[in-house]
Structure 1
Amino acid sequence: MDGLVLEYRDPLFGIIIFFTLLFVISFLTYSFGLYKEKKSRAEYRKLLKRFELGNLKEDDYVHLYTTYNLPFDSIILLASTFLHKGDYNKAIGVYLALLEHVTERVKKEELLELLGKTYFKGGFLQRSKEIFLKILKFSPRNKEALNHLLLIYEKLKDFDKAQEVLESLDELEFDVTRESVYIKTLKLLNDPVVSFDKKSTQLMHMFKTNEIIERIVVQYLLQFNKSMFWENIELFDLSKSLDLLWYLNFDDIDFDAVAKIEILQELYTAKGYINSVSNSAVFELDMIILSKNAKSNFRTDLNFQFMCTKCKSIHPIYESRCPHCHKILTFKIEPELTRRVIEKNQSLQ
C-alpha cells in the first residue's frame, strides 16, 4: 500500500499527468476552434455565393460586419457593386442599415457621404440635400458635402443658395472663381423677369470680362438673338462652337459675315451651303470637301463628340458641367467623320 502511494506521489508521474491533461485540453480547444471556423467559413461562403448571384440583402452586409468582423472598407467595397449596376435603392438600403451599427464618427461621416452621393446619383435631390446639410452641422469644413450641395442647388435652380455655398468654400480658401462666374451666368439665364434682349446684352458684357462662359453665350445668342451673334462674331473662338454652327439652318446664317471668316467658309462649304474653298485646315472638313466630287453612293458627313479636358471622359452631347467629374466648361469638341448613304435616285449636290 505504501508502495502504491509512493508511485502515485512520484514527481515524474505528476508531470506526465499534467502534460497529458494539457494536451487533451489543447486538442479539445483546437478541435472546437476548427469546428467553429469551419462552420463560420461555410456560412461565409454561403453569403459569398449569394453575393455572386447578386442576392445579398441589406441585413447580410450588417451580418458580415458585426458577426465576422469583415473590415468596414471591404463592406463598403462590396456595397459599391450596386452603384456600378445602377441599383441605387439597394446601395441606399445597405448604407442605411450600416448606419444603425456604426458608432465611430469618421465611419459614420463616410457612410453619410456615400448615402448623400447615392441619393444624388439616383436623382433624389431633396434627400441628398438633407444628408449633406446634416453632415455640415457636425463637420462644417467638409468639402465633399459643400461641393455636392453646390451641384444640388444648381440642379434645383436655387442659385442664391448655390452662391452661399460658394461663399463658404471661398472662406475655406478654395478657388471658386470659375464656379462663381458660372453660377451668376446661370442665374441670369434663368431669370424670368429679364427680357431676351437685356439678357443678351448682359451676357455679352459678362463674356468680355470672363471668356470662360463663351460657349454658353454663343449658344444663347444662336437661339434667341442671332443678329447679336453675327454682329459680334469676330469676338468668339469659333472652334469652340463648330457643332452649333454646323447644325444652323441655312436661313439663320449671315453669309456676309461668313465671307470674312475662313473657318466658316470651310465649314459651310463642307456643309454644302456655299462653294467658297477647295480644302480646309481642319482634317474632317477637308475630307468632306474632297468627297463632294466623288462619284459614289457614299458621302462623308460630320458628327461631334465631346471630351472633358479634366477627366478625359467622352460624351455624345455637350454639357456645361461634366457629368463624370462635375468640372464646369471643360468640354472640348472632337469632330468625327461619319458615312452617309445617298440613294441612287437622289441627286448628288
Structure 2
Amino acid sequence: MNERYSRQTLFAPVGEKGLNKIRGKHVLLIGAGALGSANAEILARAGIGKLTIVDRDYVEESNLQRQQLYTEEDVKEKLPKAEAAKKHLQLINSEVNIRAVIMDATAVSLEGMLEGVSLIMDATDNFETRMVINDLSQKHRIPWIYGACVGSVGMSFTIIPGVTPCLNCLLRSMPIQGMTCDTGGIISPAVMMTVAHQSAEAFKILVEDWEAVSPGFSTFDVWRNQYQTIKMGKAKKKDCLSCGENAVYPFLQLENATKSTVLCGRDTVQIRPPRSLAIKLDKLAADLAGSGYQVKSNPFLVSLEHEGERMVVFGDGRALIHGTKDLAHAKAFYQRILG
C-alpha cells in the first residue's frame, strides 16, 4: 500500500482500485480563486493524475481571506493565480502532473483543451463561463460539477451528459444580475462547504462509483443553518438546446458571448451582454455602496469607482469601463460586479 494515500485507500468505496483510477484521470479546473484553489489542493493531495488549472487573474490581498493556497508573497509578486496554485501544489504533491494556463476561459479557448479530460470542475465567478462549460460538457460528453457561493450561501450540482438535466435545463436563459462576492461579500466557511460537496462528487466520478453521485441540487446557508437538496431528474428537458434531442449548443456560438469594444479615442471599453438584462439599478447601487465602492446613481445608470477605474452600468446591462483599453481586464471587472 502506498503510505501517502493509505488513509484514502482504507475508505472502502475508494480502495486501491479507486486510487489507481484517480491516478489515471485528468481534471480540467476552470478558475483558481476560492473554490478553485481549495478543489485543486484536495485533488492534488488525493493523487489526481493530471490537473489543468485555467485562470485569467492574479493574486490580490483581498483574496487571502478565503483563497487558501495563496500567500502574502504571491500578492507582492502579483503572481497569476494559475501559476501560484501550481507552485504551491507541486510542493504538496510532486507526483501530480500540473499544468497552469493563464487565459480567459471562452468557448474557443476551452474547446481545444478537452482531449483526455475526465471531469470539468467549475470554479468560475460568472454564469457566462458556466454556460459555455455546460455546452462543452454536453457536446463532448464530459461530466462537470457546478459550484457557487456568495455571502454565507453555497450550492453545488453534478451534471452527467445523457443522464442528468444540464444547467440550461435548470435556467433556460442567462440569469439576470444578482449578488457577487464584490457586492455581497463572502465568508470562508461557505467556500469550504461548497468545496466539500464539489470534491466529494469529483471523487465519486473519478473512481466511477456512478450510483453514489448525488441526483440533487444542494444549497445551504452556513450562517442561517439552512440546508436542502432538491432532486432534479424531472427538470431534464427534451427540447433543451444544450442537451435535448436537437441540441445546438447555443452558448458556444459567438452571438451569445458578451461583446466588448474599445471606444475610439478614449481609454474606455464598452461591454454589452448577449441579450438585454433588467438591472435593478437602485439595488445595485445600494449593494455597491455597502461594499465600499464610491457610487453615484440616477434612474438611468449607476456609476462606481474602484482602484482608479470607473464603471458606468445602464439598466439593460450595458456598461462603460473607463481608464483601460484592455478588453479582458474590462470584462473581468464587469463580471465581478454583475456576475
Scaled by the length of structure 1, the TM-score of the pair is 0.20
Larger relative contact order, structure 1 or 2 (CA cutoff 8 Å, min sep 6): 2
Scaled by the length of structure 2, the TM-score of the pair is 0.21
Indicate the structure (1 or 2) with the bigger Cα radius of gyration: 1
